[in-house]
Chain A
Amino acid sequence: MRSMQTHRVFITVIAGVLTAAAIAAQSPASSALARGKALWDQRLSNSAVAVLEAAARDRTTAAEAHEALGRIFTFKGWQQDNVFPGWHDEPSVRARAIAELKAALAADPARASARDALRVAEAFAAADKVDPAPPRDEVKALDAKLESYRSATSAPVSEIVAAIEARAKAQADPAPYFTGAQILIDRGEYARAIATAERGIAVSDRFIDENLSAYQMSGKSQGSYARGRATAADLIGWALFLQKDYAGAAAKLQEAERLSQGQDFANQFHLGELARARNAPDRARDHYLNALSLTGFSGGPPPLRQRASQALAALPRGGSDVPFDAWLEAELSRRREERKAAALKSLVDRPLPKLTLTTVDGRPYDTSSLRGKVLLLNFFASW
C-alpha cells in the first residue's frame, strides 16, 4: 500500500514534467528556434546565430538549436567559398562548428541528424590536416642547392646557371630565376642576371596562366602578374645600376615601383641608392624613408634595413639638429600616418571634377555623350 502510493506520486511528477514540456513547445525558446532557422534560410548569419544562441540556452530547444548553430558554422568554416561572389570560408569558426554539434549530442544523445552533421564536420577537419601538395623533397633539395651558391663565391657561374635550370625544370614557378638573378648580381654577372630575370617574367606569366583557375577572380591573378613583373623589373634595374647604366636603371626601377605600388622594400632601397648616386639627396632620403616605413612582412631583411638607415644617416637633413634616431622615428611615423590618410581621402560623394581629356590621337575628347549615365571611369596605363 505504502509502495503503491509512492508510485502514484512518482507518476504524477512525470506527468507534471510532460505537461511542462508540452507548454514549452509554444515557448519563447521554440519560437526563437524557428526564427533562427528562418533567418539562416535567408543567409542572415549574424542574426540567425544570435537568435539560435538564445534558443540553445533553453533545455527544451538546446539540442536542435546547437545542431542548427553547428550546421551554420560548418557552412561558414568550410563550405561557403564560391557560394556567393566574394564570400570566403571563415576557418576561425571551424572549432565552434564541432563544439556546437557536440553540445547538440550532449543535450540529446539520440539525435541522429546531429551525429551525421558532426561526422561531416569532423571529416572536413581531418581533411584539413592532409596537405594535398606537400613540397616535394626533390624541389626542396634543388632550392637548397641553389641557395648554397649565395655563399659559394668561388663556384663557376655555369654551375649556378645549371642549378637554376635544374630547379626550374622540377617545378615551373619563377622563384629559381629570381633567386638566381640575385645570386648572379652578387657575383657581378650583370648581363646574365638580367637575362635570368627576364626569363623569370615569361615563366611567371606562364605559371599563372597555367593555374589561372586557382586565382578565381581576375583581380587576384592581375596582382600576381604584377608581383612577378615587379620582382623582375627591380632585379634588372638593380643589375643595370651596378653596371652604372643609371638611365636604364631608373626606367626599370620606376617600373617596379609602379607595379609594386611603392610598397616593396628592396625596390625603394634600390631607388634610394640610385638617387644618391645621381646626386639627388632629397629623393634618396625620400626613398630610404619609404623603405624603412614599410614594416612586417614587406619590411625587408634586417641587413638591408640597416644599410638603408646608415645611408640615411650619412645624408644631409636640411639643417635639422634633432638627433638622428628621434628624427628618423618622427619621419617614419609621419609617413605611416600619411599612408593611412591617403587611403582614406577620396572623391566619394563629391561631384566628378572637370577633366581635360583627349582622344588617343590627341584631339579634344567630347564627354557630352556620358551625361546622365551611370559611368565607370577607369584610369590605366599600358606599362
Chain B
Amino acid sequence: MPHLKTAYAKYQNDPRVAFLLVSIDEDAKRLQRYLDEMKFAFPVARASAAHAEQTMGFDNIPATFYVDRTGIVRYEANGTEAHGDSPSRIAWFIDQLKGR
C-alpha cells in the first residue's frame, strides 16, 4: 500500500478528493497491528469480505474503484497488476475525474 500513501500525499489537502480504504480482514487484532504499523493518513473502514465481494463484484484484493462526484464508478483496478497501482497512475485516474 505504499503507493496509496504516496498518492494520498498529493490530495491530502484537496477538499474535492477523498480516499477510503476498506479492510475485509476477519481478524480485528491483526488489522489493528497492520494499521499501527502502516500509520495511514486516510480513513480506514471495515466490511465483511463476503458482503464487499458480492456488492462490488471483485474476487481479488486489492481492488480499487474510482468514483466521480455524482457517485458513479468510473474506473476499476483489480489486484496488483503490473503497473496498475503506481502513484502516477492513481493520480491520473483522480485527475480525470476531478476534471469532469
Contact with B along A344-383 (1 / 0, CB 8 A): 0111111111111111111001010111111111111111
- Answer whether residue A85 sits at the interface, using C-beta atoms and an 8 A cutoff: yes
Contact string against B for A residues 120-148, beta-carbon threshold 8 Å, 1 for contact and 0 otherwise:
00000000000000000000000000000
Flag if A375 contacts B67 (CB, 8 Å): yes
Contact A381 B23 (CB under 8 A): yes
Of A85, A365, A381, the contact of B24 (CB 8 Å cutoff): A381
Residues of A within 8 A of B69 (CB): 372-374
C-alpha spacing A128/B95, complex, angstroms: 38
Shortest beta-carbon distance from A342 to chain B in Å: 7
CB pair A353–B56 under 8 Å, yes or no, is yes
Check A5 for interface membership: any CB of B closer than 8 A. Answer: no
B9 CB-CB contact with A under 8 Å? no
Chain B: minimal CB distance from A205 (Å): 14
List CB contacts (< 8 Å) of B62-84 with chain A. 62-69, 71-76, 79-84
* A371-B16 Cα distance, complex, nearest whole Å: 10
> Is the CB–CB distance between A360 and B32 below 8 Å?
yes
- Complex partner residue of A348 from B6, B24, B58, B73, CB under 8 angstroms: B73
- Contact in complex: B20, A378 (CB < 8 Å): yes
Residue of B nearest to A346 (CB): B76
Are B72's CB and A350's CB within 8 A? yes
Using known A-B contacts A352-B71, A362-B28, determine if residue A376 contacts B56 with beta carbons closer than 8 Å.
no
Are B72 and A377 in contact, CB atoms less than 8 angstroms apart? Answer: no
B-contact 0/1 string along A81-123, CB 8 Å cutoff: 0000110000000000000000000000000000000000000
Q: For the complex, what is the distance from the CA of A327 to the CA of B58, rounded to whole Å?
A: 29
- Residue of A86, A357, A367, A377 with most partner-chain B CB within 10 A: A377
Interchain CB contact under 8 A, A374 and B46: no
Closest beta carbon of chain B to A361's beta carbon, Å: 8
Known: A217-B83, A374-B97. A351 touches B72 (CB 8 A): yes
In the complex the two chains form, is A219's CB within 8 Å of B22's CB? Answer: no
What is the bound-complex CA distance between A261 and B58, given in angstroms? 12
Contacts of A358 in B (CB 8 A): 45-47
Contacting residues, chain B, for A357 (C-beta < 8 A): 22, 45-47
Question: Cβ of B2: which chain A residues have Cβ within 8 Å of it?
Answer: 218
- Assess whether A171 is interfacial by the CB under 8 Å rule: no
Q: Which residues of B contact A362 (CB under 8 A)?
A: 28, 46
Complex interface: chain B residues within 8 A of A373 (CB):
15-18, 69
Whether a CB of chain B sits under 8 angstroms from the CB of A222 is yes
**How distant is the Cα of A372 from the Cα of B17 in the complex, in angstroms?**
9
With A and B bound together, what is the CA distance between A222 and B61 in angstroms? 12
Report chain A residues within 8 Å CB of B45.
Answer: 357-360, 365
Query: Do B86 and A85 touch across chains, with their CB atoms under 8 A apart?
Result: yes
Q: Assess the A351–B73 pair: CB atoms within 8 A.
A: yes
Q: Out of B76, B80, B90, name the residue touching A347 (CB < 8 Å).
A: B76
Evaluate contact between A381 and B25: CB separation under 8 angstroms: yes
Residues of B within 8 A of A160 (CB): none
Whether the Cβ atoms of A226 and B80 lie closer than 8 Å is yes
Kindly provide the distance from the CB of A289 to the nearest chain B CB, expressed in whole angstroms.
Answer: 16
Query: Given that A261-B79, A379-B61, A380-B61 are known contacts, is A374 also in contact with B88, CB under 8 Å in the complex?
Result: no
Question: How many whole Å from B95's CB to the nearest CB in chain A?
Answer: 9
CA–CA, A369 and B45, complex, Å? 13
Is A59 interfacial (CB-CB < 8 Å)? no
Asked whether A220 is an interface residue with its Cβ less than 8 Å from the other chain, the reply is yes
- Let me know if B39 is at the binding interface, CB within 8 A: no
The CA of A374 and the CA of B89, in the complex, are separated in Å by 15
Nearest A residue (CB) for B75: A348
Q: Are A218 and B61 in contact (CB under 8 A)?
A: no
Q: How far is the CB of A4 from chain B (nearest CB, A)?
A: 74
- Evaluate contact between B18 and A369: CB separation under 8 angstroms: yes
A220 to B89, CA, bound (A): 13
A16 contacts chain B at the CB level, 8 A cutoff: no
Given contacts A379-B21, A379-B62, A379-B64, 4 further A-B contacts (CB under 8 A): A360-B23, A374-B17, A376-B18, A376-B93
Which residues does B use to contact A, with CB under 8 Å?
Answer: 1-4, 6-7, 15-25, 28, 30-35, 44-49, 51-52, 55-69, 71-76, 79-90, 92-94, 97-98
11 pairs from A and B in contact (CB 8 Å cutoff): A218-B85, A219-B3, A347-B73, A355-B51, A357-B47, A358-B46, A362-B46, A376-B67, A376-B93, A379-B56, A382-B34
